[in-house]
């Protein structure tokens, strides 16, 4: 069936200006040719270190700014070039939950009004009784007591506020929820509760989810597939189990080596990458990861590797996969 979301060769380059009246002196290549799709009811996690462009991808999908190039297709309809006037009904179908539940709720609105607002805006309630019923249902959905609708945002804990943000996103009856670091600011125990809630909701409502996170340990519990970003590009995409068991990109391998393993003794050897992430203003030539990659060879400094299939549903952008298996440290199962 048609994917709920398709992103084709998405680019977002932010111009750098010399000063208030200055001309453009260059670009930040924040997102530089990103493609993926999400099936109905599927969770795709977009992971990578801060500054890799993953939040920019989320914002571009939500049309919080115009993109530089590429396409965003929601349920078969292209929305990146849709006039803002006609975009409204499409906007309803994708909702977002941001990291900071403290700043994303209007402190002067009671919970009832926070939830009623999107229902009214999108004309979803038949009458006031239906509106009240919907607000009550949303509280049940996110496991908050119904009588809490009369309270103000400041009366809730961080985790409870994030539940309210989730309820508000659900109020619009979306097909897709974009979670941008939605649990990153929460305490560890609260984090697990919100992750469980999101997972339950996804199953109950058949929602698709784009889960943007820097935290692979959280992602492992959340997702069907994972896409790894580095310096504005996706370097690897795979079903979760395949990616965690046998990453096919050296960057993913390094990220995974930092994820704690539950059983003691099963600890992975930590791979410490040299240097910092290069600037997205002047990304390295060839493979963007070559300045930090432990396996870089001559070709990596010249040719840019393309994302291609290494096994069923598993894609990686790395020249190692052109080498004979004996010379490829990422061939076969991890640690084998």
Binding residues vs ligand SF4 (CB under 6 A): 249-250, 287, 289-290, 293, 295-296, 300, 305, 318-320
Least CB distance to Mg ion at residue 50 (A): 6
Closer by beta carbon to Mg ion, 232 or else 305? 232
The interface partner of residue 296, options being Mg ion, ligand SF4, none and the CB cut-off 5 to 8 Å by kind, is ligand SF4
**Closest separation in Å from C-beta 231 to ligand SF4:** 11
Residue 58 Cβ vs Mg ion, minimum distance, rounded to whole Å: 8
293 binds, among Mg ion, ligand SF4, none (CB under 5 to 8 A by kind): ligand SF4
**Cα distance between residue 282 and residue 171, in whole Å:** 42
- The answer for 33, left when phi > 0, alpha when psi is -120 to 50, beta otherwise, is left
Q: How far is the CB of 109 from ligand SF4 (least distance, A)?
A: 48
- 68 contacts 11 by C-beta, under 8 angstroms: yes
Query: Choosing among Mg ion, ligand SF4, none, which partner's interface includes residue 300 (Cβ < 5 to 8 Å by kind)?
Result: ligand SF4
The residue nearest Mg ion at its CB is 55
Q: Which is nearer to ligand SF4, 18 or 258 (CB)?
A: 258
- Closest approach of ligand SF4 to the CB of residue 255, in Å: 13
Largest CA distance in the chain: 69
Determine what percent of the chain falls in helix, strand and coil, rounding each to the nearest 5. 35, 25, 45
- Dist CA 63 CA 107 (whole Å): 25
The minimum distance between CB 34 and ligand SF4, in angstroms, equals 17
Which two three-digit tokens encode residue 284?
Answer: 């390295």
Choice between 161 and 290, CB closer to ligand SF4: 290
Among residues 198 and 235, whose Cβ is nearest to ligand SF4? Answer: 235
Cβ atoms of residues 296 and 319 within 8 Å: no
Q: How many helices (H) and strands (E) does the chain have?
A: 9, 12
55 binds, among ligand SF4, Mg ion, none (CB under 5 to 8 A by kind): Mg ion
Q: Tell me whether residue 168 or residue 292 sits nearer to ligand SF4 (CB atom).
A: 292
Smaller CB distance to ligand SF4: residue 26 or 329? Answer: 329
Binding site partner of 305, from ligand SF4, Mg ion, none, Cβ cut-off 5-8 A by kind: ligand SF4
> Is 59 or 233 the residue whose CB approaches ligand SF4 more closely?
233
Strands across the sheet with 208-213, in order?
94-97, 176-180, 208-213, 43-47, 225-230, 233-239, 314-316, 308-311
Q: Which is nearer to ligand SF4, 122 or 295 (CB)?
A: 295
Q: Following DSSP, what letter does each residue of 67-110 receive, concatenated? A: -SEEEEEETTEE-TTS-HHHHHHHHHHEEEE-S-TTTSS-TTS-
User: 């006037």: which residue's tokens?
Assistant: 85
| Binding at 93: pick from Mg ion, ligand SF4, none (beta carbon under 5-8 Å per type) | none
User: Which tokens go with 25?
Assistant: 């002196």
Q: Which residue has the tokens 């300045």?
A: 291
Inter-CA distances, 168 with 43, 97, 114, 119, Å:
19, 9, 7, 9
Min. distance of Cβ 278 from ligand SF4 in angstroms?
12
- Name the residues that contact Mg ion, by CB under 5 A: 55
In the bound complex, what is the minimum distance in angstroms from residue 100's beta carbon to Mg ion? Answer: 11
């Amino acid at each position: 069936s048609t994917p709920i979301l398709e992103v084709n060769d998405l680019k977002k380059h932010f111009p750098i200006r010399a000063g208030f009246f200055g001309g453009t002196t260059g670009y930040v290549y924040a997102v530089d040719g990103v493609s993926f799709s999400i099936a109905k009811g599927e969770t795709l996690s977009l992971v990578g270190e801060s500054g890799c462009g993953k939040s920019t991808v989320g914002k571009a999908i939500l049309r919080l700014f115009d993109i530089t190039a590429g396409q965003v297709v929601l349920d078969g309809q292209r929305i990146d070039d849709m006039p803002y006037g006609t975009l409204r009904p499409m906007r309803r179908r994708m909702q977002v939950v941001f990291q900071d539940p403290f700043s994303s709720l209007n402190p002067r609105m009671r919970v009832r009004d926070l939830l009623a607002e999107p229902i009214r805006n999108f004309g979803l309630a038949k009458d006031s009784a239906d509106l009240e019923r919907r607000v009550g249902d949303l509280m049940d959905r996110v496991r908050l007591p119904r009588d809490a609708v009369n309270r103000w945002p400041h009366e809730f804990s961080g985790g409870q506020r994030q539940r309210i943000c989730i309820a508000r996103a659900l109020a619009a009856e979306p097909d897709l929820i974009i979670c941008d670091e939605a649990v990153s600011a929460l305490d560890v125990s609260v984090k697990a509760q919100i992750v469980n809630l999101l997972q339950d909701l996804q199953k109950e409502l058949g929602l698709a989810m784009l889960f943007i996170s820097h935290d692979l340990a959280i992602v492992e519990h959340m997702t069907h597939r994972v896409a790894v970003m580095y310096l504005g590009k996706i370097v690897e995409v795979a079903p979760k189990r395949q990616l965690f068991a046998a990453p096919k990109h050296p960057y993913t391998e390094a990220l995974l080596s930092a994820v704690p393993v539950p059983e003691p003794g099963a600890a992975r050897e930590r791979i410490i990458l040299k240097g910092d992430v290069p600037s997205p203003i002047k990304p390295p030539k060839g493979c963007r990861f070559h300045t930090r990659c432990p396996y870089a060879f001559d070709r990596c400094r010249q040719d840019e590797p393309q994302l291609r299939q290494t096994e069923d549903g598993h894609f990686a952008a790395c020249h190692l996969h052109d080498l004979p298996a004996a010379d490829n440290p990422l061939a076969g199962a991890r640690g084998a």
